[in-house]
Amino acid sequence: MANVAVIGAQWGDEGKGKVVDWLASRADIVVRFQGGHNAGHTLVVGNTTYKLSLLPSGVVRGKLGIIGNGVVLDPDALFAEIERVRAQGLDVGPHNLRIAENTPLILPLHPALDRAREAARGEDKIGTTGRGIGPAYEDKVGRRSIRVCDLAEPATLSAKLDELLLHHNSLLRGLGAPEFGKQPLLDALLALAPRLLPYASAVGEVLDAARAEGKRVLFEGAQAVMLDVDHGTYPYVTSSNTVAGNAAAGAGVGPAQIGTVLGIAKAYATRVGSGPFPSELFDDVGRMLGEKGREFGTVTGRPRRCGWFDAAMVRQAVKIGGVDGLVLTKLDVLDGLPELKICVGYKVDGETMRRLPAGMRAQAAAEPIFETMPGWPGSTFGARSYGELPAEAVKYVRRIEELVEAPVMMLSTSPDRDDTIALRDPFAG
């Protein structure tokens, strides 16, 4: 058995959806192990575009999909997504989608608190999507969560709602936001039970059986290493651990089952929302990258900030994330640029650093140290072998490998699933 975990090696939006779709055709099971419906994957299959937020990407390929306990699940968002993809011809139901029975739920009070707090921050807002992800994770570690399994126990559900509302209504009251009553929430959850419980499963046992049968499992991460709640540009991060090490805990398996770890990175850099971005561009090149790369968030629609590839940051993500090899996406967006720059380190208060520091002030003060390389006049769009790439493009890829200290295993040269150069089969171990 050779399993694969896919994580983002930048600030998210690296093109994980296409890569996971390509890998899913070679896997038997695809597992989402963290995040919520704040993450988005776009998959292009033939003439059909699928936009997924909660569903594991393997459902597009007819594979068994699993939502692990490391995810926080909004049931309304899940069922809306299921109906949307069913309308596009996909077959999704309890027969091919399992949800960990201990998965925490996002309730309507979570996005309400999320938005109220973000509004109270004013200009100091974090840039949350407002979907309740952070408050739901707070409840998980605060031992207040309503979990999928609680829907089968009405008495447990009622008692847990009392504690949950004691906490949330106090916060909402302090923020001047409307409070929530217990009975409407309880009624909604009891009505939800017969719809959601058929999907509930002890997914750790499912995955252990898959291991015994030698099946291939693909662990699908959301967001990226530099948005990890511990290791990212805190506090401008997501509320979960996005590194490959969390794939085990978030899916209910042992760490030895994770297998090869692929880090996905764009051939340049982007970021959505607030937070440090040392290699960000504010000129015509930055605008060109945004327009040509169609840099708008799958979930939020917000335009992404664009900049040069930050090798120092990706090297940091490789080390922290346990990345065995990179998948470099959107190489074709760089076509035609006369020269390219790569960030190889930072100047912070006159000191040269090879990594992004942890402190907020130091991160904000970090100035990029660039290395310049020639661009290429030819096209990489749609290339499916190294031989089709301009020599300068190959040199650019090779230099990235040297700087991040990890090999490039795959290259993506268009949104099309098959426009992929596979230099090594990740499932080969």
In residues, how long is the chain? Answer: 429
Distance in angstroms (rounded) separating the CA atoms of residues 260 and 2:
8
Asked if the 4-97+200-260 domain carries CATH number 3.40.50.1970, the reply is no
CATH superfamily of the 265-428 domain: Adenylosuccinate Synthetase, subunit A, domain 3 (3.90.170.10)
109-121 vs 154-174: helix crossing angle, rounded to 10: 20
Which pLDDT does position 144 carry in this prediction?
Answer: 95
pLDDT (tens digit, 9 = 90+) per residue, 337-391?
999 999 999 999 999 999 999 999 999 999 999 999 999 998 999 999 889 999 9
Domain ranges for the chain, please list them.
4-97+200-260, 109-196, 265-428
Please give the average per-residue pLDDT across 37-43, as a whole number: 78
Please give the average per-residue pLDDT across 231-236, as a whole number: 94
Distance in angstroms (rounded) separating the CA atoms of residues 196 and 94:
9
Question: Which candidate in 13, 150, 228, 419 is catalytic?
Answer: 13
Which pLDDT does position 299 carry in this prediction?
Answer: 61
Please give the average per-residue pLDDT across 216-241, as a whole number: 94
Question: Which candidate in 21, 37, 41, 228 is catalytic?
Answer: 41
* Residue 44 clears pLDDT 80, i.e. is over it: no
Q: Do domains 109-196 and 265-428 have the same CATH topology?
A: no
Lowest mean pLDDT among 172-176, 271-275, 277-281: 271-275
Q: Which CATH architecture has domain 109-196?
A: Orthogonal Bundle (1.10)
The answer to pTM > 0.85 is yes
Please give the average per-residue pLDDT across 237-249, as a whole number: 94
How does residue 257 score in pLDDT terms, banded at 50, 70 and 90?
Answer: very high
With vertex at residue 107, the alpha carbon angle to CA 104 and CA 111, rounded to the nearest 5 degrees, is: 110
How does residue 49 score in pLDDT terms, banded at 50, 70 and 90?
Answer: confident
Alpha helices, H only, 44-153? 75-87, 109-121, 133-141
* Residue 127 clears pLDDT 60, i.e. is over it: yes
Active-site residue flag, 74: no
Do 307 and 269 contact (CB within 8 A), yes or no?
Answer: yes
pLDDT (tens digit, 9 = 90+) per residue, 289-301?
999 998 986 666 6
Distance in angstroms (rounded) separating the CA atoms of residues 358 and 230:
10
Active-site residue flag, 124: no
Which pLDDT does position 126 carry in this prediction?
Answer: 67
Percent of the chain with pLDDT over 90: 79
